[in-house]
Structure 1
Amino acid sequence: MTPHFSIPNALSPQQCDDLITLIAAHHLKDAGLVRGTTAHDIRRAEIAWLDDIPEAAWVMDRMISLTAQANREAFQFDLSDFGESPQVARYTAERAGHFDWHSDIGAGQWAAKRKLTIVVQLSDPATYEGGTLELRPDSNVTQAPRARGTATIFPSFVLHRVTPVTAGTRWSLTLWSHGPAFR
């Protein structure tokens, strides 16, 4: 199995701009919540859930299509649904934005069902420094592509992180597909 699957141009630059503009116009919330406490040493970012923004409904259709393509071509997991809203995150240098090593599966109603994680790079990589999505599927660390509009899809159990943003702002879109427990 491949550690991750990339789809270049999953979203056009205009779609990335439209999504950032739409999210920036809404109230972003602190995303430092981990296991019931605010833990900025683990994650420092601001997020918005797209289900709360009716004008962003088009995103879900695109994400479903991308996930189906990646699953068909690379993973062939038993997927059943998308029980969670897509999430847009903003990582800024002013806040030392980052997300330390973690996996997207675990205890809880939704995390226990996650099978694939899809992350779309919304920012132009020339507008920020740091903020690299790194994956650690084994003892090796790989970097996800930074090209704007690229979707990176990987099993939700793979350890990954976003390195600290040292200049500018990194925007990303994340969604998880669900399915029955791995067997």
Structure 2
Amino acid sequence: MLATIDGVLDWPALKQLRAALADGAFVDGQTTAGFRAKRVKHNEQLSPKAADRKSLDDMILNALRGHDDFQRLAFPKAIQRPLFSRYGVGMNYGLHVDDALMGKERRIRSDLSVTVFLNNPDDYDGGELEMMSAFGPQEVKLPAGSAVLYPSSTLHRVKPVAAGERLAAVTWVQSFIADPARREILIDVDRMRRRLTSVDPDGEETDLAFKTYANLLRMWSDV
């Protein structure tokens, strides 16, 4: 299930992040690529030794943790510290799948991948995030501060940047609900219970929807 989330970062946070990235030290993106991905990864990433790196990481992590839609869609158990990626003209990240296990000191299973867009679509040409799905390729290019959430098992790529510069933060989530089909069912039931709450807050069906959601979450959670 692919989902877009608006308003993960507000303008002051974006301004602070972009100023830090403008002055930051970047390294070849292949330094964090997996065995096969090294063949197709052509971008730059903020050095892990860059000044204020931890505070920049925390800005992304805290924004995600504090966003209701992200919590509702991802059921996050753990979130990997982000990578800050920069794509100049001609740079791209060819077709690949994300590693199943992420991190060195603290390993997590990558159930969901997250891209937070740090500049606007009109700041660069090309650079679309393209996912391969059963319905064909799906392209995503969102406003600054918005994010896209998609299964880490998906083949995907970042298309070449033809002009300008693409900035993004990328991270991965280990979900309390590992099975994507179960996660989608829970998301659907949550939508139903929210709708019932608005039209019939004291109704029997509303109570049943909340009961069903809680019991499915209890049954399926990986804790």
Q: What is the TM-score of this pair, normalised by structure 1?
A: 0.79
Match of 2:114 among 114, 118, 128: 118
> Is 1:80 paired with 2:77?
yes
Identify the residue that residue 69 of structure 2 maps to in structure 1.
69
CA distance, structure 1, for counterparts of residue 136 and residue 74 of structure 2: 20
Task: Note the alpha carbon deviations across 1:90-127, whole angstroms, 9 max, x for none.
Answer: 0000xx21111112233666687111111111112112
CA distance, structure 2, for counterparts of residue 99 and residue 117 of structure 1: 15
Q: Secondary structure at the match of 2:136?
A: coil
CA distance, structure 2, for counterparts of residue 181 and residue 26 of structure 1: 36
Q: Is the 8 A contact 1:9 1:150 kept in 2?
A: yes
Q: Which runs of 5+ in 1 are unaligned?
A: none
CA distance, structure 2, for counterparts of residue 107 and residue 81 of structure 1: 12
- Please show how residues 144-159 of structure 1 align to structure 2 within 5 Å: 144-159=140-155
Tell me how large the CA RMSD over aligned residues is.
2.8
Cα displacement (A) at 1:155:
1.2
What is the letter of the counterpart of residue 55 of structure 1? S
What is the letter of the counterpart of residue 34 of structure 2? R
Identify the residue that residue 102 of structure 1 maps to in structure 2.
96
Q: Is the 8 A contact 1:117 1:155 kept in 2?
A: yes
Task: Note the alpha carbon deviations across 1:57-101, whole angstroms, 9 max, x for none.
Answer: 3322112234x63352x465xx4212x3111100000xx211111
- Please show how residues 157-176 of structure 1 align to structure 2 within 5 Å: 157-176=153-172
Flag as ranges the 4+ runs of structure 1 deviating above 4 A: 49-52, 107-112, 179-183
Task: Note the alpha carbon deviations across 1:133-170, whole angstroms, 9 max, x for none.
Answer: 11113251111142222110111111211100011100
Identify the residue that residue 4 of structure 2 maps to in structure 1.
6
CA distance, structure 2, for counterparts of residue 69 and residue 22 of structure 1: 27
More strand by share: 1
Q: What is the TM-score of this pair, normalised by structure 2?
A: 0.66
Identify the residue that residue 55 of structure 1 maps to in structure 2.
55
More helix by share: 2
- Report the number of matched residues: 173
Q: Which runs of 5+ in 2 are unaligned?
A: 180-223
Identify the residue that residue 200 of structure 2 maps to in structure 1.
none
